[in-house]
Structure 1
Amino acid sequence: MIKLFTLNKVALISILLLNLVLMTVTSKAQNSYELNSGWKCAPIAQIKEQGTAISNTSYSTAAWMPATVPGTVLTSMVANKQMPDPFYGMNNEQIPDIYKTGRDYYTYWFAKDFKQAIPAKGSQIYLNFRGVNYSFDVFLNGNKLNAQLNKGMFMRRSFNITKWLAANGSNRLAVIVYPPDAVGNANGGQGGDGTIAKNVGIQYTAGWDWIQPVRDRNTGIWDKVTIQTTGSVKIKDPHVITLVPGIRKPEGAQQPAIIKVSTELENATALRVSGTLQYLLDGKKVFKKVTLKPNSTQEVKLDDYTLANPKLWWPNGYGPQNLYDLKLQFVAADAKVSDQQEILVGVRQLTTEWNARTESRQVNINGQRIFIKGGNWIISDEMLRFTDARYDAEVRFHRDMNLNLIRVWGGALIERPEFYEACDKYGMLVFQDMWGSGDCNGRWLDPMKREDQWTRRKYPDDHDLYLASIKDQVKMIRNYPSLAMWCGGNEITPPEDILKALRDTIMPALDSTRWFIEYSNSENMSRNVNGGNGDGPYGIQPLSVFWNERAFPFNSEVGSVGVSDYTSLKRFIPKGNLAAPVYDAATGKTKTDPVWEYHKYIGYDGFIDKYGKPKDAEDFANKAQLVNYDQYRALMEGFSSHMWDWYTGTIIWKTQNPWTAMRGQMYDYYLDPNACLYGLHNGSAPLHVMYNPTDGMVMVANNTFRPKTNMMLVAKMYDIAGKETLITQVFVDVTAASTKRYLSIKKNIDAAAKDDGAFVVLELLAEDKTPLSQNIYWVPNETGEYSGLQKMDNAQLAVSAKALKTGKIEVTLTNGNKVPLAFFNRLSVVDAGTKERLLPAFYSDNYVSVLPGEVKKVVIDYTPVKNAPAPMVSISGWNMAEKFIAVGN
């Protein structure tokens, strides 16, 4: 459960986020539990004893500080107030950087006492690490468990600890964790001096153009530690493949699908073991008799199963995300279950093909082509404070943007199973980069880098470790239906020997049904009309660029600005630094506060000034939301307007931040959405009426598998005072998976908007007059200024709110007749006492405009706080001051 965030103090938020880490105790298996609390840690400089001594319960750790596990050294230091919150102001500058301190400064011992009895004869106890950065030794009850140093951020490690358990059931685990071998100089370059890429690990920790350096380079036991009990045989890395032949639709009876299941079985005993490997799926059992040699691991493939009339899994916007429970078991000869794993199976098949018209690859799911509307994802938290609840919230936001894909960027990590569980749930395909970037790995000449391109091109130093890590991570996540694509690296291939092994050996053997792309802007993915491929544009753009200038036909990175609102800015910018940027049109330069610059602000140029020069930071942030909404609505509308003609998809750079950055985000680090999210929510809708502001063309995008017929298209205008003028209304049809152009209303709009601008309103209505799509544009005057908005009278909007059930509120917005539009209203669910926003919260729509005589309803989902009074709803808009509404029953 995500608790209420009281957001007046950033430090309190950090503590709450850390509490979420400690509260997360989930496991799909009854035979496993997580060691996620009660850890202690100490720097190596303060500890003289060896691990064999430290791991005895008689050794005192009373002077050690509490540790956050999973977490990093810096996470624990911040939690214990030894370091300031690096997300606030310029606090990060106060934290010593490992490049200057040396690796020992962040080399730490971690210790954990836990209860575990010696199991019954034949049973086995395993200690499992899902991720440690960067290398470590493990000790239990005075015994060292590893013969060689465990190395690599992305290697799972498992130890059979049965014979090392204490007779009295009281055990001590001690782990010494060493930082990355090459820590890199955080000199301001992309990935610092680039040497961070010599490791098989995360590259962003040395800094990037959207983040400051992470001072400990994420050293620590950063992922889950579990204790697992099995019988003599353990199930390892099962693999489920689903084949869905033919072209399918989400509804109706289905032809059969094929289910293929295999797994490794490990016999940990010195005896031969016979039994049955079986799985249960949809009420059916599939099984095979197996005999395993002593102390051996064997792969076993079960017979293919034909699943009749399957319930298929579809990406968001195309159909439901059906999931089957598959219970895989090894049953020993005595009929006892030795081990079992429960797997959620999404029945779907992915194929790709070259689209000759667009000159790019297209993605097909269950035989149907999917127009990719994606967002680039870095990581949930730069300090690796991951929780199931946060993953769920972030992926849900992407669903709410009406996106259908998330690209996990290559300078971070192969995402955790909990991320993929959320993507399965919300229908987000995943484009998963492997580790590497053009910046660190030698694509470009770069004076900030320590070593030349030829040397960097060979990174990482240990190719064998890289390949072993890839094999391990592929096995970890290959069963998730959301995983759609593997990518060799960000903007560059890995070294040739690694690429060859990935393409020709590893992926065919371990995960042959997914698309493998050599690198993120490969010509095998996309070629423009002149040949070659690339990314962009980035940053603020005239709206005409998105509509009329052809970008790369499957663009892995294109994006704009993303400053959040004033409430968000106050969470991490000190009061004295809340000064609005000042843009000089004559020089094209912006004067920006140093804290804003430190948090990677990129300029809005003159786009804010078109709404009137901002009076202060609050006015700037409010006007920035108008620009945000317009930018991202136009971006996705522009790409959708050329769907299957110029483009097979696009992926926004980027939709979230793992730190308090001021660019490329649809919601801030604290999970508070801004207008970017709702501009995308509008512009990405599966059935969408839209207007090209450059030529006045009205069109409808139908991004579904069904044609839409007998709809009424209504085009009308409102002046600044709220007077309505009907332009036209006409019955229209649009075929499946297409965009259709109807008519231009440019002359009407130009005439009406000449002096003060105007509002353009487009609607699609069903035969029963039910609204199918509505789009409200605010159009500038003939000089490009929004002069009329600055003359609007106050809105006369009536607002009421009622609780539909616990955690769900319906807000009704009613505008009067013969009054102005109630323009661009932000809704927030807030604590009744403090008036601070409850986060995260999910809105069916936001930044809502209400026409004269119109009624709109917005539904809000949030997590209620136990024993807290009922919340209130805050609303404020362009022409309405903030007010608070009580929530009725």
Structure 2
Amino acid sequence: MKKLILFALLCIACRFSFAQQASENYRLLLKEGWNMQSAVTDQSTGAKVSNTGFNTGKWYKVSVPTTVIAGLLANKVYDFDPFYGRNFERLNDARLDKPWWFRKQFKLPGSERGKNVVLKLQGINYKANVWLNGKLIADSTQVVGPFRIIELDITKQIKYNSPNVLAVEVKRPFDPNKRGGDLAIDYADWIHYPPDFNNGIINNVEIKTFRKVGVEYPLVTTKFDLPSLAVAHLEVDAIAVNYTDEPQDALVKGKINGNSSFEQKVRLLPRQKKQVTFNALNYPQLNIKNPRIWWPWEYGKPELNRIQLSIHSSGKISNELAENFGIRQVSSVMIDSNKARKFIINGKPIMLRGAAWSPDIFQRRSKERQEQELKLVRDMNMNIVRSEGKLEDDNFYAICDREGLLVMTGWMCCGAWQYPERWDAAKRTVAMASDSSVMYWLRNKPSMLTWLNGSDMPPRDKKVEADWLSIEADLKWPNPTIASANETPSKISGPTGVKMAGPYDWVPPAYWEADTGKYGGAWSFATEISPGPSIPPYESLIKFLPKDSINTRSLDWLYHCGTMQFGNTRIFDSALYARYGTSASIIDYLNKAQLQNYEGHRAMMEAYGLRKYNNATGVVQWMLSNPWPSLIWHTYDYYLYPAGTYFGMKKSLEPLHIMYSYKSNGVDIINSTLRQYNGLQVKASIYNLDGTLKYTKETTAEVAEDGTKECFRFPMIDGLSDVYFVRLELKNAKGKVESINWYWISGKKDELNWKKSTWYYTPQSNFADYKALGSMPKTTLNINSSTAKADAGGLYNISLTNTGKTVAFFLHIRMLKEKGGDDILPIIFEDNYITLAPGESRTIKCRYEDKYAGKGAPYILVNGWNIDAAGSKTGEHIGIEK
């Protein structure tokens, strides 16, 4: 009996695992065991390279996907860290602009004999000649474009139960940022270009088998009888393919969640691909009652359902597949005279606030890294990730599906993709085939929100946009399609309802509410926007900058900024010095930078949240992450260190959030959930620099689901210091604290010189003055911690009490691997860079996985703006950094 129970549990576990990923009855993923070499170093012919007797002893061992430089780095060809200082320039190699070979030997089992065999290439950057077993099966006029899915019938060339050799000769793209460049991966002004231009195999290579016919690319779309969600009317589409030169009669069968069976006969002409549709009108079983609905995480559970499809020929099954899908309905409407596009999911409007994803500069992908980064996205309470033409792999989208994160993606700026009027016939073919491939690939993923047919502008060639729209309609892209991420109306599809009006460099917190209709302030849907640099802490800087180069004018510092207008931190630094004072040391500069990062990013997200659905519908921070260690445009740095920007973002995006309005001098509540809150307890306190309580007010409030509420405005208060603190606290009706938020306010205000605005920032005519923070009275802390085990990692409760008479300002908690050691990364802090009133205590939860913690005893280190370390008390394994 025990064995039977164990067997049953194993079966359940297997079914659960199966339900979490796409699966097919025969799929050979060619990932490991490749060899790579320059065609300059080894000048052998393709016929010879693809022969089983070929010697690869002097070739590099790689796994696929990989670019050339990624493969060389994996083989430790370079004896330096390319990210340190300006070492990136040392990657230049005469071989990098020449073709490279990628070779893989594999076996196909005899059980697949007699079937049609297909080689699927999902990402070749940029062109390739493909050889199999000594034969050229496709040349570089056929295999071209990194976003195309190329399927090659290799039935006649394949061997069974003996080695096959696949050899792919990949040619680097012509600089995609130049006139006449290729439709490849582009980067624009945020990093230096890798010298191989990401030449290589950048997505999966796999073998599939079919018995004459096949079924591919399922799509399940949903219609609700809104506002009711009681019944989901599903439509199932798939592509049936005839892999033979003869007509075939086939039967396509399907199931939803293991039941709700349906089937349809289909007649396929020789080599025909045909869309097969099952709709709820003709198949009543596709009217699903009480469906398990996929929601963005703020609104509910991102429930995943399962579609299973198979195709049969001559009474025999040819192939079958299964993958997850979401029962959800996405649409959009225009508001504010077509200036803003509002997205609606399952009948509910959603305010979209997130950041722009960037993959590793060398296109190195890691499931572990994707999990780590997307966990940070969710921890910041973001609900959307934008991917500008840097398409990820299936695992990335599967995580987003699972976590309820939305994805905005589309074609990229700023090179060849942006100028279709310059394309010749060959590039037009690549562009259209790429669009078809991406639609097939991404259309069934529930995390997909929208597709952009352009980035910085709509396609100038009207026929290109029209053709893309036709493809997207034919392939039933189930979500809104937008001409570009820019506000320029399309001559084909009209107003976009989104904008790219900047800024991309520092602007003060007051900017976001002050501008209500011309620049980058809180109106419309800002698809990319930022208050500029995000300076990493010292602990990260020393990993990629020589210590004697950690200053804002060094060549190494400038090299790790962006390019062009963004090749320095001058605008950010000028504001920092004017507002917080010149820095006595680099540590002083970095501490002040975290303040400015925190307040700038928090205010941006708060302003958009406060004006949601009035005339603001979304905001995407440019960017989420960096493809290499950088000083600009990120929420966490390349080493996953969460600093000032991160916690300013996290604070502003709390599901139930209390905030200070720089425009109204008042207190507001932002509710980002589908729950109405009644009986909320609101408390505001104002403290002078010396800790004197100058004002307090308590009131109650209600806020509608996904709504905002103005609570009150502050009166004139006598006797305020030049800089003072506003402490806001929000409790629910049961007295549980939902949000604590601190602001530091200057009697002298930031003022903007609107007339001198540029596309990337608005200069200031006057600056707030926070210099008095530098002479705050000292205070003391008591710090203790308790630990627990949770989720195969450490869970710490870190308790801090301000035992002094003044405010304890901007306390930063770090968790080290051991005393004097490196920070544990990645790590999740419930809150950080916190401020405490005199006598106030807070307990902050901290979580990490043991595998990132090292072998020593974890050590808590706290620093703050005005902490007297000598007079403070700490528990075991806790220190205060001076």
Matched position secondary structure for 1:865 = helix
* Aligned residue in 1 for 2:427: 462
* 1:429 paired to 2:429: no
* Aligned residue in 2 for 1:557: 528
Work out whether residues 831 and 872 of structure 1, in 8 Å CA contact, stay in contact via their aligned partners in 2.
yes
**Offset of residue 752 of structure 1:** 2.5
One-letter identity of the residue aligned with 1:381: D
Kindly provide the CA deviation profile for residues 107-127 of structure 1, in whole angstroms up to 9, marking residues without a partner as x: 111112223333344434433
**Offset of residue 487 of structure 1:** 1.1
* Aligned residue in 1 for 2:83: 87
**Offset of residue 132 of structure 1:** 0.9
Matched position secondary structure for 1:608 = helix
Query: Mean alpha-carbon deviation: is it higher for 395-404 or for 229-238?
Result: 229-238
**Counterparts in 2 of 1:322-361, with a 5 A limit?**
322-331=303-312, 337-356=317-336, 359-361=339-341
Q: Structure 1 pair 548/235, CA: closer, same or farther in 2 (3 Å)?
A: same
Which of 133, 141, 145 does residue 141 from structure 1 map onto?
Answer: 133
* 1:280 paired to 2:266: no
* Aligned residue in 2 for 1:114: 106
* 1:419 paired to 2:419: no
**Offset of residue 230 of structure 1:** 4.3
* Aligned residue in 1 for 2:756: none
Query: Mean alpha-carbon deviation: is it higher for 145-154 or for 675-684?
Result: 145-154
- Count residues in correspondence: 809
Which of 181, 185, 203 does residue 186 from structure 2 map onto?
Answer: 203
Matched position secondary structure for 1:316 = coil
Q: Tell me the distance in 1 between the aligned counterparts of 2:111 and 2:701.
A: 71
* Aligned residue in 2 for 1:588: none
* Aligned residue in 1 for 2:124: 132
Query: Mean alpha-carbon deviation: is it higher for 125-134 or for 142-151?
Result: 142-151
Q: Structure 1 pair 235/532, CA: closer, same or farther in 2 (3 Å)?
A: closer
Kindly provide the CA deviation profile for residues 19-51 of structure 1, in whole angstroms up to 9, marking residues without a partner as x: xxxxxx986446324322222111111223211
Which of 783, 792, 796 does residue 810 from structure 1 map onto?
Answer: 796
**Counterparts in 2 of 1:380-459, with a 5 A limit?**
380-409=359-388, 412-437=389-414, 457-458=422-423
Work out whether residues 45 and 104 of structure 1, in 8 Å CA contact, stay in contact via their aligned partners in 2.
no
* 1:508 paired to 2:473: yes
- Identity score, percent: 27
**5+ long unaligned stretches in structure 1:** 1-24, 185-190, 249-253, 444-454, 582-591
**Offset of residue 476 of structure 1:** 0.5
* Aligned residue in 1 for 2:576: 608
Matched position secondary structure for 2:368 = helix
**Counterparts in 2 of 1:237-276, with a 5 A limit?**
237-247=217-227, 254-269=229-244, 276=251
**Counterparts in 2 of 1:170-209, with a 5 A limit?**
170-180=163-173, 182-183=174-175, 191=177, 194-195=178-179, 198-204=181-187, 208-209=188-189
**Offset of residue 70 of structure 1:** 1.1
**Offset of residue 405 of structure 1:** 1.8
Matched position secondary structure for 2:310 = strand
Q: Tell me the distance in 1 between the aligned counterparts of 2:411 and 2:108.
A: 37
Q: Tell me the distance in 2 between the aligned counterparts of 1:114 and 1:371.
A: 49
* 1:221 paired to 2:201: yes
**Offset of residue 356 of structure 1:** 3.2
Matched position secondary structure for 2:511 = helix
* 1:543 paired to 2:539: no
* Aligned residue in 1 for 2:13: none
**Offset of residue 359 of structure 1:** 3.5
Q: Structure 1 pair 885/649, CA: closer, same or farther in 2 (3 Å)?
A: farther
Which of 484, 487, 496 does residue 519 from structure 1 map onto?
Answer: 484
Q: Tell me the distance in 2 between the aligned counterparts of 1:685 and 1:459.
A: 49
* Aligned residue in 2 for 1:826: 812
Query: Mean alpha-carbon deviation: is it higher for 683-692 or for 428-437?
Result: 428-437
* Aligned residue in 2 for 1:673: 642
Work out whether residues 356 and 621 of structure 2, in 8 Å CA contact, stay in contact via their aligned partners in 1.
yes
Matched position secondary structure for 2:604 = helix
**Offset of residue 331 of structure 1:** 4.8
Q: Tell me the distance in 1 between the aligned counterparts of 2:785 and 2:852.
A: 24
* 1:690 paired to 2:659: yes
Work out whether residues 135 and 151 of structure 1, in 8 Å CA contact, stay in contact via their aligned partners in 2.
yes
* Aligned residue in 2 for 1:373: 353
Q: Tell me the distance in 1 between the aligned counterparts of 2:211 and 2:590.
A: 60
One-letter identity of the residue aligned with 1:752: L
Kindly provide the CA deviation profile for residues 405-434 of structure 1, in whole angstroms up to 9, marking residues without a partner as x: 22222xx43333322222222222222121
Q: Tell me the distance in 2 between the aligned counterparts of 1:679 and 1:649.
A: 18
* Aligned residue in 2 for 1:625: 594
Which of 38, 48, 61 does residue 66 from structure 1 map onto?
Answer: 61
Work out whether residues 96 and 196 of structure 2, in 8 Å CA contact, stay in contact via their aligned partners in 1.
no
Kindly provide the CA deviation profile for residues 282-326 of structure 1, in whole angstroms up to 9, marking residues without a partner as x: 342322143554654333222431111112222232222111122
* Aligned residue in 1 for 2:290: 309
Q: Tell me the distance in 2 between the aligned counterparts of 1:135 and 1:436.
A: 21
* Aligned residue in 2 for 1:644: 613
Work out whether residues 683 and 697 of structure 2, in 8 Å CA contact, stay in contact via their aligned partners in 1.
yes
**Offset of residue 104 of structure 1:** 6.9
**Offset of residue 381 of structure 1:** 0.8
Which of 134, 150, 154 does residue 147 from structure 2 map onto?
Answer: 154
Which of 706, 709, 720 does residue 752 from structure 1 map onto?
Answer: 720
Q: Structure 1 pair 884/386, CA: closer, same or farther in 2 (3 Å)?
A: farther
Work out whether residues 121 and 149 of structure 2, in 8 Å CA contact, stay in contact via their aligned partners in 1.
yes
Work out whether residues 503 and 516 of structure 1, in 8 Å CA contact, stay in contact via their aligned partners in 2.
no
One-letter identity of the residue aligned with 1:361: R
* Aligned residue in 1 for 2:27: 32
Which of 41, 47, 52 does residue 36 from structure 2 map onto?
Answer: 41
Work out whether residues 328 and 346 of structure 2, in 8 Å CA contact, stay in contact via their aligned partners in 1.
yes
* Aligned residue in 2 for 1:300: 276
Work out whether residues 780 and 787 of structure 1, in 8 Å CA contact, stay in contact via their aligned partners in 2.
no
Kindly provide the CA deviation profile for residues 612-632 of structure 1, in whole angstroms up to 9, marking residues without a partner as x: 432332332222111111111
Work out whether residues 441 and 459 of structure 1, in 8 Å CA contact, stay in contact via their aligned partners in 2.
no
One-letter identity of the residue aligned with 2:813: L
* Aligned residue in 2 for 1:707: 676
One-letter identity of the residue aligned with 1:784: D
Query: Mean alpha-carbon deviation: is it higher for 694-703 or for 861-870?
Result: 861-870
Q: Tell me the distance in 1 between the aligned counterparts of 2:612 and 2:21.
A: 42
Q: Structure 1 pair 168/279, CA: closer, same or farther in 2 (3 Å)?
A: closer
* Aligned residue in 1 for 2:45: 50
Which of 842, 861, 878 does residue 856 from structure 1 map onto?
Answer: 842
**Offset of residue 669 of structure 1:** 1.6
* 1:793 paired to 2:778: yes
Aligned alpha-carbon RMSD (Å): 3.1
Query: Mean alpha-carbon deviation: is it higher for 691-700 or for 812-821?
Result: 812-821
Normalising to structure 1: TM-score of the pair?
Answer: 0.84
Work out whether residues 721 and 793 of structure 1, in 8 Å CA contact, stay in contact via their aligned partners in 2.
no
One-letter identity of the residue aligned with 2:104: K
Query: Mean alpha-carbon deviation: is it higher for 861-870 or for 551-560?
Result: 861-870
